[in-house]
């Protein structure tokens, strides 16, 4: 598997013996499920393949997850929860004097790199949002609401600073920006161009689309 991301944080330092092994095995199953789900989708995800990648016998998965849907639900939630932590952490490191529009561009890069380069969980969560049964998305939707609040604050700050073009609806603009960023998970591969180029292009489009004309 080419990339990994943490799901729900765990502190293995406080675990010992069999319990620690169980935590690691559960994480291995989740990593494998995120990998398969991000590439083959909900319908194409088979527990037998997840088990093979996790180096387990397929029946062993049921010790940790009662069903495929329980496993997928955890991955779907973790993908957005992890994105929330990652993008929030990146923004927290941005100096206070940085302009609101530039903070949006920082968030654009953090979102795209996490979605396309860092996290199979986030890729799986984004790509399968419209494929999984609604009952699986309850926790994921709660995390999406928190993530959306972070982006609303970014756009609200840009509006207050006069850094969005006149007549632009900030709510619609925000939803279109996030939709475009998420759609990259459906089409981007390294063969289509470097991720650096994709990020720079997205930032240019967002800056020029949102900012007042000069």
6 occurs within a structural domain: no
Give the predicted TM-score (pTM) of the model.
Answer: 0.87
Is residue 51 one of the residues assigned to a domain?
Answer: no
Model confidence over 9-65: pLDDT tens digits?
444 444 555 568 889 999 999 999 999 999 999 999 999 999 999 999 999 999 999
Quick: pLDDT tens for 135-152: 999 999 999 999 999 999
Q: Could you tell me the CATH number of the domain that includes residue 84?
A: 1.10.357.10
Report whether pLDDT(6) > 70.
Answer: no
Residue 102 lies in a domain: yes
Containing domain of residue 139, as a range?
Answer: 68-210
Question: Is 54 a domain residue?
Answer: no
Please indicate, yes or no, if residue 4 is contained in any of the structural domains: no
Give me the pLDDT at residue 69, please. 96
Cα separation, 37 vs 118, whole angstroms: 15
Q: How many domains does the chain have?
A: 1
Structure tokens at 205: 């489009």
Q: Is residue 190 one of the residues assigned to a domain?
A: yes
């Amino acid at each position: 598997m080419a990339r990994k991301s943490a799901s729900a944080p765990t502190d293995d330092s406080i675990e010992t013996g069999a319990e620690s092994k169980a935590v690691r095995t559960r994480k291995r199953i989740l990593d494998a499920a995120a990998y398969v789900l991000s590439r083959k989708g909900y319908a194409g995800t088979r527990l037998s393949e997840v088990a093979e990648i996790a180096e387990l016998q397929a029946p062993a998965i049921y010790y940790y997850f009662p069903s495929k849907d329980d496993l997928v639900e955890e991955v779907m939630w973790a993908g957005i929860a992890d994105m929330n932590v990652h993008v929030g952490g990146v923004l927290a490191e941005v100096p206070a004097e940085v302009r609101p529009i530039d903070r949006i561009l920082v968030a654009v890069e953090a979102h795209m790199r996490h979605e396309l380069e860092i996290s199979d969980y986030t890729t799986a969560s984004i790509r399968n949002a419209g494929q999984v049964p609604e009952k699986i998305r309850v926790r994921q939707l709660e995390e999406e609401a928190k993530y959306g609040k972070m982006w609303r604050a970014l756009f609200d700050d840009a509006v207050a600073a006069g850094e969005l073009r006149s007549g632009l609806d900030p709510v619609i603009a925000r939803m279109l920006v996030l939709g475009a960023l998420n759609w990259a998970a459906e089409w981007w591969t390294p063969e289509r161009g470097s991720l650096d180029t994709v990020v720079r292009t997205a930032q240019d489009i967002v800056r020029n689309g949102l900012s007042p004309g000069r």
